[in-house]
Amino acid sequence: MKIHDNVLSAIGNTPIVRLNKCVPRGNFPNSPNSRHEFFGKVEFFNPGGSVKDRIALSIIEDAERKGELKAGGTIVEATSGNTGVGLGLVGLLKGYKCVFVMPEKISEEKRAVLRAYGAKVIMTPTGLGPEDPNSHYGVARRIVAETPGAYLANQYHNPANVKVHYETTAPEIWNQMDGQIDVFVGGIGTGGTLSGVGRYFKEKNPNIKIVCADPHGSILYDLFYHKEVRTPPASYLVEGIGEDMLPDNVHFQYMDDFVQVTDQESFKACRDLAATEGLLVGPSCGAALAAAIKYSEKLTKPSKILVLFPDGGRSYLSKAFNEEWLKTQKIN
């Protein structure tokens, strides 16, 4: 029988899909005759709907092995949504209580999913720094301190995050592409995906370029190129990527380039993916695609470019796929 004992073993092994229509075909300024190929690793096929299911399982099983999370315990996390969904799913099936703290800008759809899994959701004001006790990070820290048996998943700093991408996401891509890949593009939220996949690919072939899509307003671009923050952090609308602090899980040594993208570019690419490829994915996928296309313009030989699409578009129907909302945000 090929039956999953429960939904947790259905995490991972997501498909890679060739992008046919939403990407330019040749005529790049620096490489007029080149014809790059673009592919998407589509992570919404995970049971919780995002790449974060992978780290949820890895972080919780690591904590269980180390005895840091025991029966009857409570999983706590500051999360922009997807990690909460993954942890909610893992917590539900393994019998832990879950409490998630998130900024108000996160869509109502994402909060509703967490409640459906039986988790408690606490909202905090958007735009507070990580050291602020009222930020989602600060509130999560306080709940852990006050709750016996609580475990902070700590996705930004927990090495089990990078590890699972090194052990699953990257080898999956490597096998699916038969090792034929020139450029990997993704965003950084915690850094787990790019650091884990980056390390694996660099070990396999140091010529593979690891490229980060960074929203304008994030400080990562400055930190990567200048080792200091030159433009102060600013708010932007794409959820899940970009940073106003430097997580331990960001390992710059495996990365080659950072490409800045605007909300406008990210939301347009996101909508193009749905309208032309039938891939209803989230805005951070649009950001990654927009960065991949910009990056490809400076490549001088035909390249295979793999873009990681972290989540699906259904969580953003009231935003990215709503004309009225886009108008109020002045991004269409």
Ligand X SMILES: Cc1ncc(COP(=O)(O)O)c(C=O)c1O
Catalytic residues: 52
Q: Which is nearer to ligand X, 39 or 309 (CB)?
A: 309
What are the CA-CA distances from residue 172 to residues 160, 190, 253 (Å)? 18, 21, 22
* CB of 109 vs ligand X, minimal distance in Å: 13
Minimum CB separation of residue 81 from ligand X in Å reads 6
Q: Please, what is the minimum distance in Å from the beta carbon of residue 192 to ligand X?
A: 4
Query: Which region, judged by CB under 6 A, interacts with ligand X, from 11-19, 93-101, 186-194, 292-300?
Result: 186-194
Does residue 191 touch ligand X according to CB under 6 A? yes
Torsion of CA 150, 151, 154, 157, to 10 degrees: 130
The answer to whether residue 48 forms part of the interface with ligand X (CB under 6 A) is no
Binding test (CB under 6 A) with ligand X, winner from 14, 190, 296, 303: 190
Site string for ligand X, 202-241 (x = CB under 6 A): -------------------------------------xxx
Residue environment code for 204-213, b if the CB has 16+ CB neighbours within 10 A, otherwise e: eeeebbbbbb
For the segment 79-98, give every residue that binds ligand X (CB under 6 A): 80, 82
The binder of ligand X chosen from 282, 286, 312, 313 (CB under 6 A): 282
Q: What is the DSSP letter of 315?
A: G
Q: Which two tokens stand for residue 184?
A: 């990997």
CB of 239 to ligand X, least distance (A): 6
Interface with ligand X, residue 193, by CB under 6 A: yes
Exactly one of 188, 211, 261, 290 binds ligand X (CB under 6 A); that residue is 188
Secondary structure (3-state) at 97: strand
Report which of 101, 111, 97 is spatially closest to residue 150, judged by C-alpha positions.
Answer: 97
DSSP-derived secondary structure letter, 82: H
* The one among 103, 192, 217, 286 contacting ligand X by CB under 6 A: 192
Return d(Cα 240, Cα 130) in angstroms, integer. Answer: 15
Residue 291, C-beta contacts closer than 8 angstroms, at least 6 positions apart: 185, 211, 212, 213, 214, 259, 260, 261
Question: Cβ of residue 247: shortest distance to ligand X, in angstroms?
Answer: 8
Instruction: Note whether 189 binds ligand X by CB under 6 A.
Output: yes
Tell me the torsion sign for CA atoms 108, 111, 116, 118: negative
d(CA 214, CA 136): 21
- List residues binding ligand X (CB under 6 A): 80, 82, 187-193, 239-241, 282, 284, 310-311
